[in-house]
Amino acid sequence: MQMSPARVWRERGARLRLEGSRCKKCGKTFYPPKPACPYCGYKETERVELPKRGRVVSWTVEYTVPEGYRAGSPLVIALIELENGVRVLSALADVDPDKIYYGMEVEAVLRRLWTEGDEGLIVYGLKFVPVNISTS
């Protein structure tokens, strides 16, 4: 990963507010945001903020990690179905990898995603934690 300030700034909506897109014609909402609708082909979409809670529909405990992610390994990567049915790929945090199950309720929290060396950029974004942990 090589980051630049403009690149991080451009993604602030999707990454920090969990903004997706809604098609102005068919109304389908999806994540990550895209300027055209992948489902009906309509050329206009609008940004919408997505619910921060959902359920785990698939997950993996990743042991062989890309460069720069060793400190956090093993990583838990998951597909989460939000309360409105939109699916989001993210990482799970504060979770026992052996205790994840299909349908586990999770919610988004702000976390550090990537640090570029000792003096470089820090990229923040949303990871998901089990609901009972985040509210306790």
Closer by beta carbon to another protein, 33 or else 136: 33
**Around 124, how many Cα atoms within 13 Å sit in the side-chain half-sphere?**
9
Tokens, residue 79: 């597909």
Amino acid of residue 78: A
Residues 77, 14: Cα–Cα separation, whole Å: 18
Give the residue, chosen from 16, 48, 75, 129, that forms a contact with another protein under the rule CB under 8 A.
Answer: 75
Residues 36-65 that bind another protein (CB under 8 A): 38-39, 57-65
SS3 38: coil
**Residue 101 touching another protein (CB under 8 A):** no
Closest separation in Å from C-beta 100 to another protein:
10
Q: Give the count of residues interacting with another protein (CB under 8 A).
A: 44
CA distances (Å), origin 51, targets 2, 48, 88, 125: 30, 10, 11, 15
Give the residue, chosen from 22, 54, 95, 127, that forms a contact with another protein under the rule CB under 8 A.
Answer: 127
Cβ–Cβ under 8 Å, residues 54 and 83: yes
Query: How large is the C-alpha radius of gyration of the chain?
Result: 16
Give the residue, chosen from 12, 34, 43, 112, that forms a contact with another protein under the rule CB under 8 A.
Answer: 34
Give the residue, chosen from 41, 68, 85, 120, that forms a contact with another protein under the rule CB under 8 A.
Answer: 68
Residues near another protein (CB under 8 A): 1, 7, 11, 14-15, 30-32, 34, 38-39, 57-70, 72-73, 75, 77-79, 86-91, 97, 102, 113-114, 123, 125, 127
